[in-house]
């Protein structure tokens, strides 16, 4: 059997992680690249040795040689492109967040069912070694019943601007960009409990703080210091049907002392910190133990995480396994993210049950 032919749609920053990981996978060939910015499409085609490049995703999807695609475009095109790719008979790896709304998420879910193709949502943190190691401990019941989790992803100064700061293209600010990773990480490790209610708040008090001098931060290619339509920060408490709860706060800008990235889980037999460093907390012989595994990287290793995500996707496309990051999880995550925005807008708790879902 020949190699799986890959198309990458959206050739910006994160696409490099996809390209580099595909390059190291022997089962695939980077075959085609698409970006509406022709220069970028051309540059990446030369850099990664693809055969073809396109400036419209529809042309790439019409190419019968393409077996699978990575979609690395802005969030506003995720639904449209992934549905078109599935309809064209391609397997899909879609960058996070799955899309912008719950309605779109359901449409993608329907397209996956109809096509019978693989769709994997890019929850890359699930593929970090620290997460994989902890998952084994959780599966062997070392933490017992996990009833509480907490995640913070705080930047005092770090609104990347460009499309990230444009609600139309991104769907939101730090919640949809950073929150999606940490909420999913907790939810996945908690065993994907069903959401019961959400109370959330978003604030737009500081803007992007582009006035700040002498402190550098990542800026998107199309950074504009005067444009920002997304929230500065968000917080939420999410209650699950099994009684467990999850508390999060995330920011692009906040009067905080320093950056903070912390994710913890607490069970009735033990606890764990995943970030900033993997650590297990337990009790033995009436003594509390902090146990630190000896592994290469105690925090998320970007390169290894992406390699593992791409290798898993390829293996799913080859029919060797089912994805651990299916479309249904993307739908649940969109319900949570949109639920937080809705609760913030209405100033009230959003309730979920079998029949009633958050409106868009």
Ligand X SMILES: NC(=O)c1ccc[n+]([C@@H]2O[C@H](COP(=O)([O-])OP(=O)(O)OC[C@H]3O[C@@H](n4cnc5c(N)ncnc54)[C@H](O)[C@@H]3O)[C@@H](O)[C@H]2O)c1
329 binds ligand X (CB under 6 A): no
- List 163, 187, 313, 341, residue binding ligand X (CB under 6 A): 163
Q: In the complex, which residue's CB is closest to ligand X?
A: 12
- Please state whether beta strands 279-284 and 287-291 pair in parallel, antiparallel, or not at all (unpaired): antiparallel
Angle of helix 327-346 versus helix 102-115 axis, rounded to 10: 170
Q: Of 37, 204, 290, 303, which one interacts with ligand X (CB under 6 A)?
A: 37
When asked if residue 36 is in the footprint of ligand X (CB under 6 A), the reply is yes
Structure tokens at 199: 């109370």
Q: Which is nearer to ligand X, 88 or 146 (CB)?
A: 88
At residue 91's C-alpha, the angle toward residues 164 and 110, to 5°, is 80
- DSSP alpha helix (H) spans, 190-277: none
**40 lines the binding site for ligand X (CB under 6 A):** yes
CB 334 to ligand X: min, Å: 13
DSSP state of 76: G
**Cβ contacts of residue 164 below 8 Å, gap of 6+?**
170, 173, 177, 220, 230
Q: Which is nearer to ligand X, 5 or 40 (CB)?
A: 40
Smallest distance from the beta carbon of 102 to ligand X, in angstroms?
17
Q: Which stretch binds ligand X (CB under 6 A): 9-17, 225-233, 323-331, 344-352?
A: 9-17
Mode of pairing for the β-strands spanning 195-203 and 233-240: antiparallel
Identify the residue among 84, 98, 108, 124 touching ligand X (CB under 6 A): 124
Give the interface segment with ligand X, choosing from 31-39, 150-158, 211-219, 225-233 (CB under 6 A).
31-39
| Whether 203 contacts 235, CB under 8 Å | no
**Angle subtended by helix axes 102-115 and 78-87, to nearest 10:** 10
43 or 145: CB nearest ligand X = 43
* Stretch in the footprint of ligand X (CB under 6 A) among 8-16, 99-107, 248-256, 266-274: 8-16
Q: Is residue 254 within 8 Å of 157, Cβ to Cβ? A: no
Both tokens of 321, joined, read 């396994």
Q: Does 74 bind ligand X (CB under 6 A)?
A: yes
Our finding on whether 281 is near ligand X (CB under 6 A) is no
Is 130 one of the binding residues for ligand X (CB under 6 A)? no
Of 4, 28, 34, 99, the one binding ligand X (CB under 6 A) is 34
Q: Looking at beta carbons only, is 77 or 344 nearer to ligand X?
A: 77
Is residue 35 a contact residue for ligand X (CB under 6 A)? yes
Q: Degrees (nearest 5) of the Cα angle 334, 159, 250?
A: 50
Distance CA 119, CA 122 (A): 10
CA–CA dist 56, 35 (Å, integer): 7
48 binds ligand X (CB under 6 A): no
Q: How far apart are CA 210 and CA 355, in angstroms?
A: 44
Instruction: Give the one residue of 4, 5, 10, 184 binding ligand X; rule: CB under 6 A.
Output: 10
Q: Is 174 in the site for ligand X (CB under 6 A)?
A: no
Distance CA 19, CA 8 (A): 8
Single out the segment in contact with ligand X by CB under 6 A; choices: 72-80, 148-156, 277-285, 315-323: 72-80
Alpha-carbon gap, residue 70 to 201, rounded angstroms: 33
Selected from 29, 67, 95, 275, the binder of ligand X by CB under 6 A is: 95
How far apart are CB 148 and ligand X at their closest, in Å?
26
Binding residues for ligand X (CB under 6 A): 9-15, 34-37, 40, 57, 72-75, 77, 95-96, 122, 124, 163, 220
């Amino acid at each position: 059997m020949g190699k799986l032919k890959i198309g990458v749609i959206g050739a910006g920053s994160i696409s490099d992680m996809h390209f580099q990981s595909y390059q190291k996978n022997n089962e695939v060939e980077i075959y085609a690249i698409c970006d509406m910015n022709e220069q970028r499409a051309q540059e990446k085609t030369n850099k990664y040795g693809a055969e073809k490049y396109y400036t419209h995703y529809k042309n790439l999807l019409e190419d019968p040689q393409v077996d699978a695609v990575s979609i690395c475009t802005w969030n506003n095109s995720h639904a449209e492109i992934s549905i078109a790719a599935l309809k064209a008979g391609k397997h899909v790896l879609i960058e996070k967040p799955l899309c912008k709304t719950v309605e779109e998420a359901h449409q993608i879910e329907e397209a996956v069912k109809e096509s019978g193709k693989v769709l994997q949502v890019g929850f890359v943190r699930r593929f970090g070694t620290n997460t994989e190691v902890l998952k084994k401990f959780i599966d062997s019941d070392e933490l017992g019943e996990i009833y509480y989790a907490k995640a913070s992803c705080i930047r005092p100064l770090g609104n990347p601007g460009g499309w990230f700061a444009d609600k139309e293209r991104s769907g939101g600010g730090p919640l949809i960009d950073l929150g999606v990773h940490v909420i999913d990480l907790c939810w996945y490790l908690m065993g994907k409990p069903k959401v019961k209610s959400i109370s959330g708040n978003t604030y737009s008090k500081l803007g992007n703080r582009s006035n700040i001098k002498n402190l550098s931060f990542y800026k998107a290619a199309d950074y504009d210091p005067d444009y920002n339509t997304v929230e500065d920060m968000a917080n939420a408490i999410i209650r699950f049907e099994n009684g467990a709860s999850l508390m999060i706060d995330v920011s692009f800008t906040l009067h905080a002392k320093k950056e903070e990235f912390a994710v913890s889980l607490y069970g009735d037999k033990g606890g764990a910190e995943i970030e900033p460093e993997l650590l297990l907390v337990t009790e033995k012989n009436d003594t509390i133990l902090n146990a630190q595994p000896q592994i290469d990287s105690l925090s998320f290793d970007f390169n290894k995480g992406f390699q593992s995500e791409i290798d898993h996707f390829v293996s799913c496309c080859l029919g060797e396994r089912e994805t651990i990051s299916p479309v249904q999880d993307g739908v649940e995550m969109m319900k949570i993210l949109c639920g937080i925005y809705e609760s913030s807008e209405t100033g009230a708790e959003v309730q979920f049950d079998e029949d009633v879902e958050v409106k868009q």
